[in-house]
Amino acid sequence: MKTTVNVSILATNYNNGKFLKAFFESIIESTVLPNEIIIVDDGSTDNSIKIINEFKKKINIDLLKFDENKGRATALNYGKKACTSKYTLIIDPDDILLPNRIETQFLYMEENKDIDILGGNVIYFNSETGEKLNKSNFPTSHKDIYKTYYKGENGILQPTILAKTNVMQRLNYIQIAPGQDYVFFANLAKLNYKFSALKQPVNLMRIHTNSVVSNINFASIQKIFLQRDKIFNTKTNNLHIFIYYKYLYFYRKSMLTNNKVLKYFFLAISVILNPIKLLKRLKHN
């Protein structure tokens, strides 16, 4: 029998039925099991509820349902209030946990009591072909994570986070898709909570055309930077925002296309727009 650790898994779901089997199986196949799985269904209209109920027979799932779609921020706030474990692990239900994620992050937090929020990296993969694309390169030290939030970018990738539950319950997410993750954790950084991240991947992250990030637009990025200026008392000009948006746009296109020529073309444009990202990747590899 597998060991159960003091971790609540929190996932919000909206019409991810076709991905849920792989998601739940990755939890079941983990080296240790969580104390509970809180999944908030945000008014799904597909077969999500049926699949979740099937897996409730195999693993400890607490299903919280909204009759209509209320938005990810509302679902996250509702779900994190229901978490009862010492730590809360956040993941999206279209991703796949790597087998040792729960155990590795739990032990790290137990051994590093000063850390409040722990992240990690992911391996991106094409949802249609299953092809592994590349690995994310998020900062690992508190200093670099804080600096990244200060710049208006995510210092930690939310679906890789394991955090102290009482810290997660300190603030509420605001409805500013897709910037709710940035605003929530940037505010925690401003409040001097301590961050860290593992260099190693903890998830397989699915790249598909229906994901929020794949459909991001300039107005959404602009909203994030407006929040950044509010949190850190800075002022970001629109040219900087536009260049960063185009970097994200072409980088995402490079991962979505199956055409090798277009892939490298889009990637080259993204590097030209944000060469610092490439330099950091080369430095860390």
CB distance 144 to 194 below 8 Å: no
How many domains are contained in the chain? 1
Q: What is the pLDDT of residues 116-144, one digit of tens each?
A: 999 999 999 888 888 888 899 999 999 99
52-58: long-range contacts, CB 8 A cutoff, minimum separation 24: 52/13, 52/20, 55/20, 55/24, 58/24, 58/28
Q: What is the pLDDT of residues 29-88, one digit of tens each?
A: 999 999 999 999 999 999 999 999 999 999 999 999 999 999 999 999 999 999 999 999
Q: Quick count: other Cβ atoms within 10 Å of Cβ 23? A: 23
**Taking residues 194-206, what's their average pLDDT?**
97
Q: What is the pLDDT of residues 83-103, one digit of tens each?
A: 999 999 999 999 999 999 999
In degrees rounded to 5, what are phi and psi of residue 90? -105, 135
Say if 279 falls within a structural domain: no
- What is the domain range of residue 145? 4-208
How far apart, in whole angstroms, are the C-alpha atoms of residue 76 and residue 72? 6
Question: What CATH number corresponds to the domain at position 12?
Answer: 3.90.550.10
pLDDT, residue 209, reads: 66
pLDDT class for 27, splitting at 50, 70, 90? very high
For 16-71, where are the alpha helices, taking DSSP H only? Answer: 17-28, 48-55
Say if 30 falls within a structural domain: yes
**Helix, strand, coil content of the chain in percent (nearest 5):** 45, 20, 30
DSSP strands (E only) in 19-100: 33-42, 61-66, 87-90, 96-97
pLDDT, residue 283, reads: 57
Contacts of 82 (CB under 8 A, 6+ apart): 38, 62, 64
CB distance 139 to 148 below 8 Å: yes
Say if 50 falls within a structural domain: yes
